[in-house]
Chain A
Amino acid sequence: MTEGAGPGGGVNLALLAAAGREATPIMLLPVTVFGIAGAWRALTPGMFGWDFAGDALLDSIRASGPVAAGVAAWLTIRSERSGLGRLERLSRRSAAGPLTRLGAAASAALAGYALTAGAVAAWLGVHGPVTGSLQAAEVAAGAAALLVHVTAGFLIALLCCAPCCPARLLRVRPLPGPQVPTDLVQAAGRAVAAIVLPAAVLAATWALDTCAGARRSDGTAWPGLLVSPDVHHSPFTEWRAGLFVAALTWFGGVAATAILASGWALTRTHRYAIGFTAASVMAGVGLGHLHAGAAHPMTPVSASVVCRSWPLVVCVNPAFAPALPQLEAAFTEVAAGVSGTPAAVYSVTQLPPGASVSSRQGGYGFHLDDLRQGYALRAKSDLTRQVAWALNRPTRKWATSTGRARTRRSTTWRPTTGDS
């Protein structure tokens, strides 16, 4: 074979075209659909800021990532079953085919992620001007997390199709008697195995993502961030600077490590080992920063408030600014009812979640976490509850005839000051 021993250069357009033709329709559609569904579920109702769009994109990985992993596993099994794996393993370019197919699958998945981002942006754009800013590192971290999912599915399927065993997933012993039952059993076994493995990959990654998200919600389990960085932004808090960069480094490092490990396993070429080492270091650095940043991921935001001052002073977080007119109207109704009483309402300020409310000299607070339908009613009832309590509380304050406030402190109740 001396004629064919020379290095054949050039780009393998046939492989690129085939990989693209195979992966694009199968990967793009489910990742986009599940991504949009996941982002839709994660979008905070009524909040139209870029911050929330970034969170929704990250959260969409919890839905689209497992699907991408399952599809990647299925594509890998399908190409291995078709005989391409053996054809490619015979050559010196044994890693080119699988890695090209992985690249095509990852590109299709990332295109799905981009479509999801486009859908979220379009949805925000429909609802008027969008406030805030979108963090590029946050979006990139989501893309890297999706890449990790695709790579994981690819690698698991590749390991299950290892060349050391001819009939790997389901070994069917020859049955006595005619050949047909054996053929049927074997074909059925292969079909089932081709479905079972991708389904198992999908279920495993989904369970991992779900568990990580559930544990992270109480703020105690930082390792959850290692699986998928889906986090929910709050208008009252902000993420520690560099957390998403650390997540991006971690996910990028893990994906690169997995890809290079696959290349090394397929070719046994040591140049992959050098890249593998570099990628491992990158993942380690990302892990360290993630650990440091995730210890206290949220810091209270010191954002100024947006207020309307007539007929009542109502102040809200800037993210809730579109709701000011309705809140003003709702609170004015309450204030009109208690005007001239000791519980008169002069100003109402939105408080962060968890902050205790207090009423002092006509100043009240209220909680509102999102702008779901009926938010004005919820805020109004919150204020009404406080006003009713202020009317009946043991400590009473009233204006004297000279206009000076007089306060008698109760021995059983001490008002607390809100964090705001």
Chain B
Amino acid sequence: MDQAPGLAPRTEQTGAGRNAGTGENATDGGRRVSVSFGRTAAFANSAAAEESCQPTILANRLGLRHRRRWLLRSVTFSAGARAGALGIAGDCGAGKTALLTLLAGLAVPARGELRVLGEDMRTYRGRTKIRRRVGLVPPPGRPSGFTVRGLVTHAAWLSQLPASHRRARVAGALDRLNLSGWAGALMSAVPEDVARRAWLAACTVHEPDLLLVDGMLDGITDQDALALARCLGTLTVAMAVLIAGRDAERLALCCGPVLRLTDGIAGNG
């Protein structure tokens, strides 16, 4: 990690109260909504404190277009915390995955400004750097052929972790998410919550600064969602986590503020 992330005080905010620190800055015919989440962590050293002045995510009039369709239009928000969780709620097609794709550096903004962990995502160099520093948990899927340990090991290899450290880091990631008992099981055969935790382990094995989670809490029972929310809560201690999902109430289980996306437009949760 470039800096030791601070421990942000977790705020259990639900419903309308969780957006108490949110302010709308501007609207453009009802299309542009700016929301700001200002929870800056307390950093242990001065370098980190200086770093903390920069928001983790700064999106200003951000847009993403695929052919003629705008997937995101004029999204403006900032997340200042180096640790903690931010929720992105929205229905299917609202632009959650598109936003995460942008934040991970896998797509180029069609317009607007986007800075993630201080890097300008409009530049190739910035996107390349950010890809090493984020973890992107995709929508839940079952990569066939992989065991739980194999998936995490594959992720560690992809992250170019030194071979000497890889085994220990894989074991650590499996332990952190209570997956040691499932390590040898095939991903196609494990229960749904185990598969999702395996993805979390794979995407955090390189200890990213920012974890982007897509649809992790959707499509499962409330009990599983609660267990996963607890797992995600433990991860927020070490890294900034952005969780996208359809159900704002479920996101509130582990997130502080929740940003709502509707048809590519950001709004309050």
Contact = CB atoms under 8 A, between A and B. Distances in A.
Nearest to B215: A83
B145 A1 contact: no
A192 interface: no
- Dominant secondary structure of chain A at its interface with chain B: helix
A139 B1 CA distance: 53
A178 B156 CA distance: 40
A1 to B, nearest CB: 5
Contact of A87 (B2, B138, B145, B208): B138
Contacts of B158: 87-88, 90-91, 93, 96-97
Interface residues of A, number: 50
Contact of A82 (B71, B133, B144, B219): B144
A10 interface: yes
Interface stretch (B19-27, B96-104, B220-228, B251-259): B96-104
A276 to B, nearest CB: 20
Interface residues of B, number: 58
Contacts of A163: 101, 106-107
Contact of B143 (A1, A12, A82, A165): A82
A87 B136 contact: yes
Interface stretch (A169-177, A210-218, A243-251, A401-409): A169-177
A161 B171 CA distance: 32
Given A90-B106, A166-B98, A21 B136 contact: no
Contacts of B97: 166-167
A8 B133 contact: no
A183 B144 CA distance: 23
B202 A87 contact: yes
Interface string B128-151: 000111111111111111110111
B132 A93 contact: no
Interface of B: 1-2, 66, 71, 91-94, 97-98, 101, 104-107, 131-147, 149-151, 153-163, 165-166, 199, 202-203, 206-209, 219, 246, 263
Given A9-B163, A87-B155, 20 more contacts: A1-B2, A1-B133, A2-B2, A3-B1, A3-B207, A4-B132, A5-B132, A6-B162, A7-B160, A10-B166, A12-B154, A22-B145, A83-B140, A84-B143, A87-B203, A88-B158, A90-B131, A97-B154, A167-B93, A179-B246
